[in-house]
């Protein structure tokens, strides 16, 4: 039984897996509540014996050391044994979230050309070929990042909540912002998928991340939407290292 910990930019996701089956999923808004929540889950699931943590957010050394005392913890870095060949030119700079997503694709879509799109604070594009070789991808601003940048970097544009525009033609400043941000991202994603499919006609496309459900309904391209894809990848990495 495995405990999966995903420390993101805004919150923490915790999940309990028995083999490939998710038994519990919890989102923690405050990073400083991580340790207490791990204690709680460990008490609720006495059979938990291993854990993995992936962190792109801030986690203190003190918290990390405490977690290591609670459970046998694997800290994901580029040095961890991975279930794919990493051909990224700067492997030390490859985000652990992207490593986890690629690992999930290897588990579910072995020996296929796969493009993984993670729509969150950033939109990341990651491609792995049918030889199990990770090639790289792209990083783009996410939905909330685009809304916030329009507000932060201009004098008069308001900060809006995310909303699906009704028309490509914005007839007010608010409508124009929604159109520019949302349709801009939808067209970007569809365009990237189209470019990849010109080269790899048998491409499998995965859409995940916090904004996946919001965006998936309006995308023209055929995709698999999976909000737990990163967690599944972390679980696969932990199992992969536990079987050594």
C-alpha span between 139 and 53 (Å, rounded)? 22
208 marked among binding-site residues: no
61 marked among binding-site residues: no
C-alpha span between 230 and 236 (Å, rounded)? 10
66 marked among binding-site residues: no
Helices (H), 173-227: 173-178, 184-199, 212-216
Token pair for 115: 């493009």
- Strand, helix or coil at 45? coil
Cα-Cα-Cα-Cα torsion 196, 139, 128, 184, nearest 10 degrees, comes to: -30
Q: Which residues contact 187 (CB under 8 A, 6 or more apart)?
A: none
Catalytic-residue membership of 97? yes
144 marked among binding-site residues: no
7 marked among binding-site residues: yes
* Beta pairing partners, 136: 127
137 marked among binding-site residues: no
182 marked among binding-site residues: no
Please tell me which residue in 97, 126, 190, 195 is annotated as part of the active site.
Answer: 97
Which of 140, 54, 52 is closest to 96 using CA atoms? 54
121 marked among binding-site residues: yes
184 marked among binding-site residues: no
Contact 3, 38 (CB under 8 A): yes
6 marked among binding-site residues: yes
Instruction: Return binding residues for K(+).
Output: 118
Residues at the binding site are 6-13, 88, 95-98, 118, 121, 173
- Residues forming the active site: 97
Which residues are annotated binding-site positions for substrate? 88, 95-98, 173
Annotation: binding site for ATP: 6-13, 121
């Amino acid at each position: 039984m495995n405990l999966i910990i995903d420390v993101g930019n805004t919150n923490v996701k915790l999940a309990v897996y028995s083999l490939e089956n998710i038994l519990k999923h919890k989102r923690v808004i405050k990073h400083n509540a991580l340790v207490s929540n791990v204690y709680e889950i460990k008490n609720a699931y006495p059979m938990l014996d291993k854990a993995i943590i992936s962190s792109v957010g801030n986690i203190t050394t003190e918290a990390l050391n405490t977690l290591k005392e609670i459970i046998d913890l694997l800290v994901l870095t580029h040095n961890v044994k991975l279930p794919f060949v990493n051909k990224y030119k700067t492997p030390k700079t490859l985000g652990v979230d992207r490593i986890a997503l690629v690992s999930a694709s290897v588990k579910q879509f072995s020996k296929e050309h796969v493009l993984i799109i993670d729509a969150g604070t950033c939109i990341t594009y990651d491609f792995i070929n049918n030889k199990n070789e990770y090639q790289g991808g792209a990083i783009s601003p996410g939905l909330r990042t685009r809304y916030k940048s329009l507000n932060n970097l201009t004098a008069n544009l308001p900060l809006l909540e995310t909303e699906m525009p009704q028309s490509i033609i914005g007839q007010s400043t608010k409508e124009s912002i929604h159109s520019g941000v949302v349709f801009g991202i939808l067209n970007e994603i569809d365009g990237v998928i189209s470019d990849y499919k010109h080269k790899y006609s048998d491409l499998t496309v995965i859409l995940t991340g916090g904004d996946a459900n919001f965006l998936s309904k309006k995308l023209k391209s055929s995709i698999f939407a999976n909000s737990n894809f990163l967690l599944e990848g972390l679980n696969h990495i932990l199992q992969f290292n536990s079987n050594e």
